[in-house]
Structure formats: C-alpha cells, structure tokens
Homo-oligomer: A and B are copies of this chain.
Amino acid sequence: MKATVYVTIKQNVLDPQGAAVEGALHSMGFQEVGKVRIGKYLEFELDTTDRLEAEQRVTLMCEKLLANTVIEDYRFELEG
C-alpha cells in the first residue's frame, strides 16, 4: 500500500518560509502571487494490505513524528 501525507502549517500560524518565497516571487516579477504557504509532502510504501490498520498506523506516525500538531495540520491518502 502506498501512503501520501501532506503536512501544512495551520491557518493562523505565521509561515516565514512562505513569506520569503512570496517576496522572492514578487521581486522576480510575479506580482500576481499572494498568500504563499509551504508544507511538506511525503510518500512511502506500507507493508500491509489492511486498510483500516494502515490508517491507524499512519495517523500514529503523523502524530508522533511527521507533523508538529501544535502548529501543523496533516492529511493523508492511501492507495492500493
């Protein structure tokens, strides 16, 4: 089974990396860009065929390691 995890910074939390990229895009002439937010994107294989178990395990991984749930949200998709 393949898992895809998206970790994003919560709406009300400042995103300095996004602000830096937005500034860089503006200075390069891309003035139409706004509200840049940057997150992480993870793909991995899971050696299991049990979808429910996979969901529980990936949730645990996100809570324990992949996301800092104080300032980040996460969501994931499972395939196969």
Q: Interface on A for B, CB 8 Å cutoff?
A: 6-8, 18, 21-22, 24-25, 28, 30-48, 57, 60-61, 64-66
Contact = CB atoms under 8 A, between A and B. Distances in A.
A26 to B, nearest CB: 11
Contacts of A37: 42-44
B46 A32 contact: yes
Contacts of A65: 21, 24-25, 28
B44 A41 contact: no
A33 B21 contact: no
B44 A36 contact: yes
A38 B43 CA distance: 7
A30 to B, nearest CB: 6
